[in-house]
Amino acid sequence: MSFPTPPQVRPARPEFSSGPCPKRPGWSADAVAAKAFLGRSHRAAEPKAQLKEAIDRMAATLGVPADYKVGIVPASDTGAVEMALWSLLGARPVDVLAWESFGAGWASDITKQLKLDDVKLHDAGYGELPDLSAVRRDSDIVFTWNGTTSGARVPNADWIAADREGLTICDATSAAFAQDLDWAKLDVTTFSWQKAMGGEGAHGVLILSPRAVERLETYTPDRPLPKIFRLTKGGKLIDGIFTGATINTPSMLCVADCIDALDWIEGIGGLTATRARADANLKALQDWVDATDWVENLVADPAARSNTSVCLKIVDPAIADLSDDAQRAFTKAMVKKLEAEAAAYDINGYRDAPAGLRIWCGATVDTADLEALTPWLDWAFAAAKAEL
């Protein structure tokens, strides 16, 4: 039995994980540590000022409207989304959109944990989008902008009514700093540093429109709220959350890493540059997909394809006709070969998604590394197929 010869050139940085995502080019732990207020109280003047700096610079870089509130909250993007769901929902009917695992998770929480009555689920399979035109104008809408585990994103926010009566709650964790968020259509937006910024985990970002603040200050949910979810006190927004006084103790090392990422983003040209880098990365990978007969993008519609978490399916009949378990074993074998060669790390598809590969193409990845990766993908496929 003959096996293919491995390519000669490896990606300089073989990290392609979809979370935590690759660090920025040139990242240095020493450089981050030099910015960090380690061993200091986050309530002290300088650390608190650094938290406020991170908030202000994120808002400025993302183009968040001046009358929106931006805060750092616990428990990554999940914590930020849950704060919004538990604090805001129940005043109106809810339309929840789900086309991958995280959207499905929010739907489950809304129906099984919050146990809201008037909930309409709009769902679709992995790689597809639901009928966006079917959402109700008078309902609150919960959705992910970019499906991290399916590689499908909404192409725009045109489907959200400008004169909507309800709030929109958008999980934008794989979209922020990579895609064009339409702030006029978003009332609650969440993300985490660990995605397109290449930051560390455990911290979430929560962005509230004036309409969301009004809901918080005029609606009291008929359920107890843990301290970690409380955004109001005495019927008023806890403004300190949005000025650097976090609900619980943040990691000042992670905050410094966020500042480091913002320094890099601003240095390369801001949001325009990060979006362009992600678009270029998607193009490099998709050009290879289009020229390769054994693989396809899981998302058939080009307008709905993510430029960050790109999901691929194997369409070679010898593999595609196998059982689901056998297909998963095959992709796992490919991934193990790539990791053993230090050619790519952490690119297996999400556990609940169809068998396949998931490759992060956000701005912290260099296009040259994706171009170096694709011959290795061909090699790993051929090598794993030869062992069947």
pLDDT digits (tens, 9 = 90+) for 129-166: 999 999 999 999 999 999 999 999 999 999 999 999 99
What's the confidence (pLDDT) of residue 2? 66
CATH number for the domain spanning 79: value is 3.40.640.10
Residues of the chain with pLDDT under 70: 1-2
DSSP annotation string for 112-127:
IIS--SSEEEEE--TT
Same domain, 55 and 136: yes
1 inside domain: no
Scanning the structure block, which residue is given the tokens 């070679």? 316
Count of domains forming the chain: 2
Same domain, 247 and 284: no
What's the confidence (pLDDT) of residue 184? 98
Whole-prediction pTM value? 0.97
User: Domain range spanning residue 216?
Assistant: 29-266
Which residues contact residue 278 at a Cβ distance below 8 angstroms, ignoring those fewer than 6 apart?
178, 179, 196, 307, 308, 361, 362, 363
370 inside domain: yes
DSSP annotation string for 268-323:
HTTHHHHHHHHHHHHHHHHHHHHT-TTEEES---GGGB-SSEEEEEE--HHHHTS-
What's the confidence (pLDDT) of residue 303? 98
Same domain, 83 and 158: yes
Answer with the one of 266, 298, 316 that is the final residue of a domain.
Answer: 266
What's the confidence (pLDDT) of residue 3? 74
Beta bridge partners of 357: 312, 348
Round to whole Å and give the CA distance between 20 and 347: 12
Same domain, 203 and 287: no
Same domain, 208 and 70: yes
Same domain, 143 and 256: yes
Same domain, 311 and 350: yes
Q: Give the chain's largest Cα–Cα span.
A: 74
* Amino acid letter, 358: R
Which residue stretches of the chain are H helix?
A: 29-35, 45-62, 76-88, 101-108, 210-218, 252-268, 271-290, 317-320, 324-340, 367-386
Same domain, 113 and 225: yes
Same domain, 190 and 233: yes
Same domain, 342 and 244: no
Round to whole Å and give the CA distance between 132 and 123: 10
Answer with the one of 227, 243, 266 that is the final residue of a domain.
Answer: 266
Round to whole Å and give the CA distance between 308 and 361: 4
Same domain, 366 and 220: no
